[in-house]
Structure 1
Amino acid sequence: MGRKARISKGKQMKPNFFVFCEGETEIAYVKFLRSLFRAPIQVIAKKGKSNISEDYIERSQNEYVRTEQDKVFLMYDLDVDGMLEQLQKIPNAELIVSNPCIELWFLLHYQEQKTEISSDKCIKKLQKVSKEYKKGTLSEEEKDVLAKNKDLALERAKKLVEFQNPSSMVYKLLEKLKG
């Protein structure tokens, strides 16, 4: 009597997280998250003057092996007029926008921010609590705070009204990464 052949179910591929963004600060943060969560995150930075669009996203994803479970995120600042309207036209992508800027998300790791704030004031406030902060980079000290206080920032961000100033939806990416 022979043994039954084992049927391999095959290895299930993890979904890719495609994060489209512009700006060195967002790129540095997403790369930090990729390392922190050891997740298959593909950071795709806007190149040149090309506008973010459904076609641009599709072409960019074609460079990767894709799965049905892949997720697309749009990480942009809302301090540019018309940006929200442009992003909302893109189907099958989750908005993880910050209003006014990504620095608000970083600030929420240190303190609450409930009143409207400009990008410049937000950066100045962040530089008061994080002396090492420089736009476009993340120091090891900053990475430690961002890792340690991520749940606190997540809770603070959830209390803010989406798309309003101030607000940051970056927490949605963290929730997906935590699974």
Structure 2
Amino acid sequence: MGRIKRKTSPAFAIVADGETEIWYLQMMQRNERRVRLTIKPELPKKKRIEDQCELVCKLAQGEYDKVFWIVDLDQIVKERREATGVKKDPMQTFIECRKRVLSSKKYSNRIRVIVNNPCLEFWFLLHFMHTSKSFDCYDQVEKELKKYIQDYNKSVGYFKKPNNDIYLKLKPRLKKAIEHSDLLGVFTPETPSKAVSEMPQFFRTEELKGLF
């Protein structure tokens, strides 16, 4: 009689231009014992949208069950502001890259593009309130968020603090954040400046179905 093979845990790659998204999801994994998966951070060496998109497509052809590309639009706005002599608008580049990976039969089942506008902290804010206000930048969101989490700061020590990490702070309000996010809808190329957080995509992915 052959040996029964143990089912392996799903493997997710997380591509983001910053580390806060990685820290947050790592803390989710640490605290949710029912979630049996492997999360591997894939921080792009180059921050340009084209380079991130190339990395996402490359990873989707490898060992991962899913590749999550988490995009903070304030970074694209920053790239647009700092670009000099660039023929193509960074926002338009992102919209085209997003369309390419989501419409491709090769990638559509393995890649998820998650947009936060302006940043991940907007997702955190939705745990406490529903708002459709379009914040211009991280600083504005942080100011509002600190009304609810006074000691918030963007550091690995804060995010991963034993017994009081960022996920534990927010977990009791997770369902409310998902509800608030749903009310805002999803990112659309026609209205790229509207407030949005697509983080519920992660919690609703097939491999985590029914756990949140």
TM-score of the superposed pair, with normalisation by structure 1: 0.80
Tell me how far apart the structure 1 counterparts of residues 122 and 17 of structure 2 sit (CA, whole Å): 16
Contact 1:100–1:118 (8 Å) recurs in 2: yes
1:131 paired residue among 134, 143, 150: 150
Tell me how far apart the structure 2 counterparts of residues 118 and 127 of structure 1 sit (CA, whole Å): 17
Match of 1:3 in 2: none
Assess, with a 3 A threshold, how the Cα gap between structure 1 residues 173 and 10 changes in structure 2: closer, same or farther: same
Match of 1:74 in 2: 69
Assess, with a 3 A threshold, how the Cα gap between structure 1 residues 49 and 71 changes in structure 2: closer, same or farther: closer
Contact 2:14–2:22 (8 Å) recurs in 1: no
Deviates more, 1:27-36 or 1:45-54: 45-54
Assess, with a 3 A threshold, how the Cα gap between structure 1 residues 141 and 20 changes in structure 2: closer, same or farther: closer
TM-score of the superposed pair, with normalisation by structure 2: 0.69
Assess, with a 3 A threshold, how the Cα gap between structure 1 residues 41 and 113 changes in structure 2: closer, same or farther: same
Contact 2:114–2:197 (8 Å) recurs in 1: yes
Tell me how far apart the structure 2 counterparts of residues 7 and 141 of structure 1 sit (CA, whole Å): 44
1:26 paired residue among 21, 28, 31: 21
1:85 paired residue among 96, 101, 108: 96
Where in structure 2 are the equivalents of 1:85-124 lying within 5 Å? 85-90=96-101, 91-92=107-108, 93-119=111-137, 120-124=139-143
For the aligned residues, what is the CA RMSD? 2.5
Contact 1:132–1:142 (8 Å) recurs in 2: no
- The aligned amino acid for 2:171 is A
5+ long unaligned stretches in structure 1 = 1-5
Work out which of the two has the higher radius of gyration on C-alpha atoms and give 1 or 2. Answer: 1
User: What is the Cα deviation at residue 60 of structure 1?
Assistant: 4.8
Report sequence identity in percent. Answer: 25
